[in-house]
Amino acid sequence: MFIFVASLLTYLLLVWSGDAIPLGEVLIGLLLAGVVTLAFKAWHPDRQLSRRGLDPRRWVNFVVYLFGPFAAGLAKANIDVAIRVITGKIRPGIVKVSPGLKSDLARTVLANSITLTPGTLTVDIDDAGGYYIHWLYVEDEDPSEEQLYGSFAKWARRLAE
């Protein structure tokens, strides 16, 4: 159901012109969202259309995550990378870490968060959920989760599992 609501809201946001939205546009939006949902069902027949994605508490949590820990991590990361670009002091390497996340959505959220925060870039994921992360300045060849990305794994688990 999440994909239906998301496509409808995206369409309405893009056609909104500052005043009220005419009824015709809403009908076209409903039609297009229905087509997108049916296409999703046709491509992934085994995925269930659940109502879990519509829970408002998850959305509040997501916004809190986006503006709290994620924004702080992003700012810190950029100052860190900026210093490394200016001084040219790097010690690159690819390390492995296993946060043990199960669902695809949680893995995606964590991988994107890692890519946008301190000196780290997700290169690959194996089937067991182990992340291979390129690190701009390797402090430890077998790092803990805390060193790499702080509390992001906890947040990803709360948001998407």
Partner 1 sequence: MIVFLLVTLALIVSLFFNTLGAVSLYRFPDVYTRLHGATKCTTFGTIFIVAAVLVYSIGRMGGEPRFRVLFVHSIFALMVLLITNATGAHALARASHRSGLLPVGAVVDRLEERRNGGEAL
Residues that bind partner 1 (CB under 8 A): 10, 13-14, 16-19, 74-75, 77-78, 81-82, 85-86, 88, 90-96, 111-112, 115-116, 119, 121-124, 126, 132, 134, 136, 138, 141
Between 104 and 124, CB nearer to partner 1: 124
Q: Rounded to an integer, what distance in angstroms lies between the CA atom of residue 111 and that of residue 104?
A: 10
Cα distances (Å, whole numbers) of residue 61 to 9, 115, 156: 19, 21, 10
Angle at 23 between CA 20 and CA 28, to 5 degrees: 115
Please state the closest distance from residue 132 (CB atom) to partner 1, in A: 4
Please state the closest distance from residue 35 (CB atom) to partner 1, in A: 21
Q: Is residue 62 within 8 Å of residue 37, measured between CB atoms?
A: no
Q: Is residue 1 within 8 Å of residue 51, measured between CB atoms?
A: yes
Output DSSP code: residue 68.
T
Between 38 and 103, CB nearer to partner 1: 103
Please state the closest distance from residue 47 (CB atom) to partner 1, in A: 20
Between 38 and 94, CB nearer to partner 1: 94
Please state the closest distance from residue 102 (CB atom) to partner 1, in A: 19
